A and B are shown apart, each in its own frame.
Chain A
Amino acid sequence: METTLNLVKLGKLWDFPGGIHPPVRKSISTSHPIKRLPLPDHLYLPLKQHVGRGGQLLVAVGDHVLKGQALSSGEQGALPIHAPTSGKVEAISDYPSAHPSALPETTLVLRPDGEEHWCERNPIDTPLQQPKSVLIEKIATSGIAGLGGAGFPASRKLDGAPESLEFLIINGAECEPYISCDDMLMREHAEELATGIELLVHILNPAMVLVGIEDDKPEAIEAMAKATEGLNVLVKAIPTKYPSGGEKQLIQLLTGREVPTGGLPYQCGVVMHNIGTTYAIKRAICDGEPLLERVVTVTGEAVEQPGNYWAHFGTPVRHLLEHAGYKSKHGRRIIMGGPMMGFTLPHANIPLVKISNCILVPSEQELPMAGQEMPCIRCGQCAEACPASLLPQQLYWYSAHKELEKAREYKLFDCIECGACAYVCPSEIPLVHYYRRAKSELRQQDAEALKSDRAKQRFEARNERLEQAKLEREARHREAVAKRQAAVANRGSQNQGAQEAVAAAMARVKAQQSDQPPAAIIDEQGNLQPDNQAAIEARAKRKEEAAKRRAEKAAAKAKQMEAESPTSDSLASAKDPRKAAVAAAVARAKAKAEAKKAQSAETPDEETSVTEPSPEPSADTPDVDPRKAAVAAAVARAKAKAEAKKAQGAETPDNEASVAKPSSEPSADTTDVDPRKAAVAAAVARAKAKAEQKRREAAESTSDQTEQEPKTQPAPAPVANENAADAKKAAIAAAVAKAKQKAMERQAAAKSEDSSEEDA
């Protein structure tokens, strides 16, 4: 380490292998001092002007911005960009970028107002007394990227530097032909550069500062030596050989060290900054001016006034060319950068960015287009020219023949794409182009491999997670089951009562059903729908209960009427005539009301009950739910029987009740949407209607003084017989029945025949 420093002090220079000596042609652009360009109409400022990502926008379309105002924020490796002049943000849209691909990038279009109004500048007055973090922060917020090549954020080079740095190297080699912007900057701004170096020394505290300048720039060497007098700075003239300005090559030239492959310069004790960057650092810290402009060399035989220009970032190349006197007849290529590593632009509207050091417009004679690519003859001149000691012909072979892994094995990624190999290639093979393609393919392959690896890991992790979740779920499930079982065991006694009640109810229903003939039907249906057995039974039970309730109601009514009947039945029964009269009146009123209600209800059940004349629908007709119908029929029969018995026992004609019942039932059933229930109700109604009809016949017969009816109708017979005597009552009943019949008929006429069809 010490020896290196001593050797450097003694003036030792090392060499790098390979390299080429292309004609430098720098004097074309160094005859005039750096000129300043007038503002263009618009500035096109891509958010991303350097390696890495672009920052976040801070302004919106229509905003007026001041010179030096930050337009984007720099976060996570991104650098901010600043308004190169005051003006209005006219648009923020995609615009072709200053990149070999010219792919559109988010670009801010600024229309300068020509006022050059500065925003508040915050120079650091006593920078050498500030902690280095303050200076580094200032450099970062000033948007300073390396102005030499790739545009690596300058602050990160300073941040990542080790505490005990040996070399700070200021790269003024500018090895690429034609380019002279750093040369001119050194000639004209050596003092500011010296200040910039002082700032860098303060931040980095290196053991030695070297300024490497190719020996074909004697003016620059002299100016720098003079400006850095008294500082601990060694200005080193290095032999002119391309690519001595490459970071790795300059390190090798000046220190004899090599940056480890894939590593950064500080790993061999070096931090390197470009001349332009050093100048920008000085401006940022001492003048508070963020990076707004740079020196651009406009050169080539196709421009009339080649030279160096201070140009704002975002200036379209066209603007530069117009001011440099572009002769469109001669130049058919615009190269951004130098002839070795620059890239051609598809059109002249591409804006200048932080890394644009040169606009080269050569004539065809000056830099002829590459001729036809010929086969590689393995002459090995490329290997001799390669500054990285690669075997370009092998790299070409493997790149061209898609043996990418072999290319990697031959250290493709150590290629710095300097173009020395392609420069010497006698077969005019665009070698660098092949390497770039192979590199990008390999990177893509690696990214895909990484992605698929990650996907595989994710998939495996997911499977594992799912498996874990499944196990946990199962465990929880088992636990829950155990808990439930325990709870059931505990609660068993408490639930017993309720369970027993349910069981009792079920048993009752069953008993009832088994008593009835339709029980067989229930069984039959049960077989068809075994799963629903319980539900069916419950429903049947509910139905039955409802029917029972209705029957009870009817029975109560009948009883009531029985009690009232003396008015009509006074002759037949020996009941209280007063009560009977009242009851009869009440019954009549009720009957009327119910008749009205029935009318208003207009249920299809009623309708069927009227239109359906078949006397025994419950058992015979294939109902929607014959089982229910059967149940209902059974219920109805049971009721009829009970009523008959009652009537017999009480010797009262419960015709009123029986008339009232069918009318009351529909009202209850109409609310029910269940068609099965409706069917049940219909069946009940039919049964009742039948009874009614018979009764009516009986009534008629009584009015006609016929004695035959009672014999044919055993159930209502007694009533009829007994009623026969009571003409008045019969007449009333008949009238009521007729009224009801009429009402029902009216309803039936209005109804569709669907339900009857159903019944049929």
Chain B
Amino acid sequence: MSFKLAASPHQRIPTRTSKLMFTVALAALPGIAAQYWFFGAGVFWQLLLAIATAVASEALILKIRGKEIASTLADNSAMLTGVLLAISLPPLAPWWLVVIGTAFAIIMVKQLYGGLGYNLFNPAMAAYVMLLISFPLQMTSWHPATGFGAHGYGFIDAAYLIFTGFSSEGFSLAQILSGIDGVTTATPLDHFKTSLTQGYTSSEIIANNPQGMLAGIGWDWVNLAYLASGIYLLQQKVIRWHIPVGVLGGLFVAALVSFLLSPDNTATPIFHLFSGAAMLGAFFIATDPVSASTTVKGRLIFGGLIGLLVYLIRTHGGYPDGMAFAVLLANMCVPLIDYYTQPRTYGHSEETPLEDGKGESS
């Protein structure tokens, strides 16, 4: 008789990394559905392109690095990166934008650092920032959320627009974006910022542009969908609450303070929470474990920092939304945060961890 030898423990939870990744991607479906509803079928093609590019780039690099391809691809991390980038891009962005972005995310941001688990930055957000800086026009070409069937193009038209720049009927992307019913092409955040610079007060902006119940037609629904998905992920213990609470808390507190100080030229905290990429960022992007802080306290700080930065960039920066920048900046702080937020180990006397100073969330 001879028996198998194994290191203890011999018992494990059945959750696997691949399953975690897949669950996250799957949890994005309600949000994707909302985007599809309000912004058309473009998101479908973007997802297809992004996932294909992500898997292909990962396979290519793995082959070059002489690593096992099939088993590594099976961890679903490349697919998830593709999904997250695809749902962050304007639905009708040209095909090469998403291809370049995804390839950049996988090759430059992830694999060149050593693959899964070794990247310092969130691949999807790094790619997003790269695209935003390199192709600002294409990256800000969001068209108004008009509701299903109202955009004047279907599934096939979306593909035409993405791959050729023209719909099957010959309308250019610009024509499509300029709106069928003359609604402004800017996103609510963009619009708000522009209006503020034009001297309107926040209440006037809201009053002039009835954009839905929370933060503009469509966007609030998209954000609500991601919030629901996030809660599902929390419940499934796929993600921990610290980072989302940190992000949303940071954003909310910063917006609240600002709103209380000068209500006339600030959007309400609720507007901030349900605008742009707030919920997507809080539950799906900032929670990327690899590039986030790993200590409990550190995660709160990490999330809070992202929320604060999002608010600052939205309010005072040059871009309407700041999630990607905020995440990247917080990624940079992770080693520092982790170092100073080590938990007190059993049997060790209480150490005085250096407070980060930015812990408005704590």
Please determine whether chains A and B interact with each other in the same assembly: yes
Chain A residues in the interface with B (C-beta under 8 A): 16-17, 22-23, 177, 248, 252, 258-263, 318, 328, 331-335, 337, 339-348, 360, 362, 367-372, 374-380, 383-384, 387-391, 393-394, 410-411, 414, 417, 419, 422-428, 430, 432-433, 436
With A328-B1, A346-B5 known to touch, is A367 a contact of B345 (CB < 8 Å)?
Answer: no
Q: Which of B1, B9, B75 touches A341 (beta carbons < 8 Å)?
A: B9
Chain A residues within an 8 Å CB radius of B15? 424, 426
Nearest chain A CB to B45 CB, angstrom units: 29
Q: Is the CB of B7 within 8 A of A432?
A: yes
Q: Is the CB of A388 within 8 A of B115?
A: no
Q: Which of B6, B13, B290 touches A378 (beta carbons < 8 Å)?
A: B290
Q: Is the CB of B17 within 8 A of A261?
A: no
Q: Is the CB of A259 within 8 A of B347?
A: yes
A contacts with B: majority SS? loop
Distance of A315 Cα from B159 Cα, bound (Å): 74
Q: Is the CB of A391 within 8 A of B343?
A: yes
B contacts with A: majority SS? loop
Q: Is the CB of A414 within 8 A of B1?
A: no
Chain B residues within an 8 Å CB radius of A259? 346-347
Distance of A386 Cα from B189 Cα, bound (Å): 43
Chain A residues within an 8 Å CB radius of B6? 333, 344, 369-370
Q: Is the CB of B71 within 8 A of A372?
A: yes
Nearest chain A CB to B287 CB, angstrom units: 10
Chain A residues within an 8 Å CB radius of B3? 331-334, 344-348
Nearest chain B CB to A370 CB, angstrom units: 6
Q: List 22 contacting pairs A-B, 8 Å CB cutoff, sorted by A.
A: A16-B346, A22-B13, A248-B347, A259-B347, A332-B3, A333-B6, A333-B10, A342-B8, A374-B116, A375-B75, A375-B117, A376-B117, A377-B117, A380-B294, A380-B295, A383-B296, A391-B338, A417-B8, A422-B8, A426-B19, A428-B16, A432-B7
B316 contacts chain A at the CB level, 8 A cutoff: no
Chain B residues within an 8 Å CB radius of A428? 12, 16
Chain B residues within an 8 Å CB radius of A260? 347
Which of B19, B75, B116, B289 has the most CB atoms of chain A within a 10 A radius of its CB? B289
B191 contacts chain A at the CB level, 8 A cutoff: no
A-B contact count (CB 8 A): 167
Fill in one digit per residue for B1-44: 1 if any A CB lies within 8 Å of its CB, else 0.
11111111111110111111000000000000000000000000
With A261-B347, A414-B348, A428-B16 known to touch, is A423 a contact of B117 (CB < 8 Å)?
Answer: no
With A340-B11, A375-B115, A394-B294 known to touch, is A388 a contact of B5 (CB < 8 Å)?
Answer: no
Kindly state the interface size class of chain B when it binds its partner.
35 or more
Which of B15, B294, B343, B348 has the most CB atoms of chain A within a 10 A radius of its CB? B294
Q: Which of B198-236 contact A (CB under 8 A)?
A: none
Distance of A379 Cα from B237 Cα, bound (Å): 11
Q: Which chain B residue shows the least CB distance to A177?
A: B11
Q: Is the CB of A422 within 8 A of B295?
A: no
Q: Which of B8, B17, B240 touches A419 (beta carbons < 8 Å)?
A: B8
Chain A residues within an 8 Å CB radius of B358? none
B63 contacts chain A at the CB level, 8 A cutoff: no
Q: Is the CB of B7 within 8 A of A367?
A: no
With A372-B71, A378-B294, A383-B296 known to touch, is A339 a contact of B11 (CB < 8 Å)?
Answer: yes
Q: Which of B277-332 contact A (CB under 8 A)?
A: 289-290, 292, 294-296, 299
Q: Which chain A residue shows the least CB distance to B21?
A: A377
Q: Beyond the given A360-B10, A379-B17, could you list 7 further A-B residue pairs with CB under 8 A, ordered by the A residue number?
A: A16-B346, A331-B3, A347-B1, A362-B10, A369-B6, A371-B16, A426-B13
Distance of A345 Cα from B2 Cα, bound (Å): 9
Chain B residues in the interface with A (C-beta under 8 A): 1-13, 15-20, 71, 75, 77, 115-118, 240, 289-290, 292, 294-296, 299, 338, 342-348
Chain B residues within an 8 Å CB radius of A331? 3
Q: Is the CB of A348 within 8 A of B1?
A: yes
Q: Which of A17, A348, A369 touches B4 (beta carbons < 8 Å)?
A: A369
Q: Which chain B residue shows the least CB distance to A368?
A: B12
Q: Is the CB of A22 within 8 A of B11?
A: yes
Chain B residues within an 8 Å CB radius of A375? 17, 75, 115-118
Q: Which chain B residue shows the least CB distance to A341?
A: B8
Chain B residues within an 8 Å CB radius of A258? 346-347
Nearest chain B CB to A618 CB, angstrom units: 96
Q: Which chain B residue shows the least CB distance to A16?
A: B346
Chain A residues within an 8 Å CB radius of B75? 374-375
Nearest chain B CB to A436 CB, angstrom units: 8
Q: Is the CB of A389 within 8 A of B343?
A: yes
With A375-B117, A383-B294, A384-B240 known to touch, is A423 a contact of B347 (CB < 8 Å)?
Answer: no
Nearest chain A CB to B243 CB, angstrom units: 10
Nearest chain B CB to A744 CB, angstrom units: 96
